[in-house]
Structure 1
């Protein structure tokens, strides 16, 4: 199956009342784990690459891996740029075959965010490529994107309405209490704020920094309009757990396949768990 865009997946999720998982990839085993889980659960899936992933694996490798996986898959797969922080990088990803991109200009003033988002939309829309924007600042660290606790701020519902009206964006990442990376305690999401935002914008909402958020909280967020949920840290944890288990049992093992294979399986199990929480299983 050819790669699809994210707007198509999120519109179906909006109509069906579920969320689609967006899982970060860095190498072949991770792509295989994500696709394997989506196939097993008959779920649409978004595979996304961050700036760190692109630096590590290379843009051509990322695109080739995901495109190969999608072409042999029986479920819809989208390839998304996570946290694009420069116009040039976003355009480069579009040129290489990404079917969806995120322009993250949330650290800038509102009008500047609107301006740059519209510049990306002018390029992407004629090519049927989805664009995600962000409003509010989500705390934590994800590769090259760092937002301190002091800088982090929640999304204002009125600003969200104005932003959507000025851009016509079709999916919006919001800050309601999640953070990138591992949590030190249990995150508390501002569900009332989420409801207010959804009532104002009437488009699919994206939740970043969702690893470590309790399942019930994610389900409540979905009930209130979240349609795309980003997961990265949980996948890293599962993968490294698998590596550690192999090396603890067989410290002299030198075959990468025997080390990375079980790690891939651990990660696939975690993706399956998330897909079921999101309610996208059986929706392909």
Structure 2
């Protein structure tokens, strides 16, 4: 679930290869090349931004689990991870997606958000990642990852970038934020269930915006937020029954009593 009630203010979210090349030797710049797992270190060794540090998202402590569900690490744990990559409170951080797999980019955006949450204001993503860097004719370094020089870092959590369960429940009636469910459409609709979920369910207020690119017929499952006339009067979260084999996005939405302006389906 994405909480979109607060704006992210600081450095631009995206920088170009031209920008990074011009600032590559600036004091305080930290370039972090991100892969999904540490097993992809050979890909880093085959070509990376000069001076970049390597990280495997799954293995390097950027997230933990609570009751089997992915969660943010404790302040002490994430401080050790961030400082271990040479990132201090005044660093300018540029995140480079190392590979081309969907997991690599997801890891990059997750680390971007995590750094902002912990108080790193000047963090950006290199638009196009390592592929765009190499294609631009910029220099590419070879060789295995080197350990960064650690920096002292103390988290300074930025307000408004995370939400509690109570916040989400309250918004189902107040509508002060935009709730976006970033799971795949099949999980949003109850057609499948994540291994970490206990049941097929969702809160009925959010829109769905899948984390992977929307392509027909997937786009048919992306339902816009209901208009004010269709807002539900109270928080509702209900389990979803398995659909029939012939269910379409429209009739399945009708069967679970959701509201989709695109399908003209109203809550039962």
Q: TM-score, normalised by structure 2?
A: 0.28
Q: TM-score, normalised by structure 1?
A: 0.27
